[in-house]
């Protein structure tokens, strides 16, 4: 099964070979994970993604991860979770400690892609930045503009984004169309725009270590 179009609500499985390691991931990372698996011809991974839109309802993430982990444990040598904290207030880490499962290091995907040290180093200058990844640039209207209700209630814009000054697009691929979408998002929100190419960052490094 090859992933073609990953939508914000998709929950899917990707099994390129006889996987011994199950990757449990947020759907917002699905396209990048599949690209890395195919590009490196890793056959030891199976991938299951949960809906990316759950970032708007993070209380759904931990119960779903618990169910997936307990179902998968008898069938895999190991499980690796590709989530940050994702608004769960530490509950993902509590669950993984209980289950003896590791996850990708870092608080969120912006740090995964930038690299932990780089993200920490630019934290002061980015304190008023709203970050977009390839996925968020691609689905900005659905996940953010409509997801936060600003398409129906534009008066909410200052409430959500009044303290931001810029959009920082952390790009995983050199894609002109996505850069245009990110610029359009910045204009829509009335924010400055900054582009930074990150590639796959520590996501690639950590997967390579487990391949």
Fold of 12-104: Rossmann fold (3.40.50)
Rounded CA Rg of the chain: 17
Torsions phi, psi for 47 (to 5 deg): -130, 130
Burial of 125 (0-12, 13-18, 19+ CB in 10 A): exposed
Domain ranges in the chain with CATH number 3.40.50.920:
12-104
- Count CB neighbours of 2 within 10 A: 7
Please name which of 127, 120, 128, 137 lies closest in space to residue 32, comparing C-alpha atoms.
137
Those residues of the chain that have pLDDT short of 50 are: 1-6, 8
Alpha-carbon distance of 43 to 46, in angstroms, equals 8
| 210 DSSP β-pair partners | none
In 19-177, DSSP assigns E strands to: 21-26, 45-50, 78-82, 102-103, 129-132, 166-171
The pLDDT value recorded for residue 107 is 81
Residue that is written with structure tokens 């600003």 in the block: 150
């Amino acid at each position: 099964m090859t992933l073609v179009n990953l939508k914000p609500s998709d929950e899917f499985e990707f099994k390129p070979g006889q996987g011994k390691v199950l990757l449990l991931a947020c759907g917002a990372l699905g396209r990048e994970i599949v690209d890395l698996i195919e590009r490196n011809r890793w056959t030891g991974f199976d991938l299951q993604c949960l809906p990316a839109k759950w970032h708007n309802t993070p209380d759904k993430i931990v119960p779903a991860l618990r169910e997936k982990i307990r179902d998968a444990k008898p069938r895999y040598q190991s499980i690796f979770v590709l989530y940050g904290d994702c608004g769960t207030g530490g509950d993902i880490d509590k669950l993984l400690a209980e289950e003896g499962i590791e996850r990708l290091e870092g608080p969120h995907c912006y740090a995964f892609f930038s690299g932990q040290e780089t993200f920490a180093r630019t934290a002061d200058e980015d304190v008023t930045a709203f970050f977009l990844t390839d996925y968020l640039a691609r689905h900005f209207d659905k996940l953010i503009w409509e997801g936060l209700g600003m398409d129906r209630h534009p008066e909410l814009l200052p409430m959500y984004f009044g303290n931001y000054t810029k959009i920082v697009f952390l790009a995983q691929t050199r894609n002109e169309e996505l850069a245009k979408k990110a610029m359009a998002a910045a204009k829509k929100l009335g924010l400055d725009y900054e582009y930074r190419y990150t590639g796959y960052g520590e996501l690639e490094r950590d997967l390579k270590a487990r391949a």
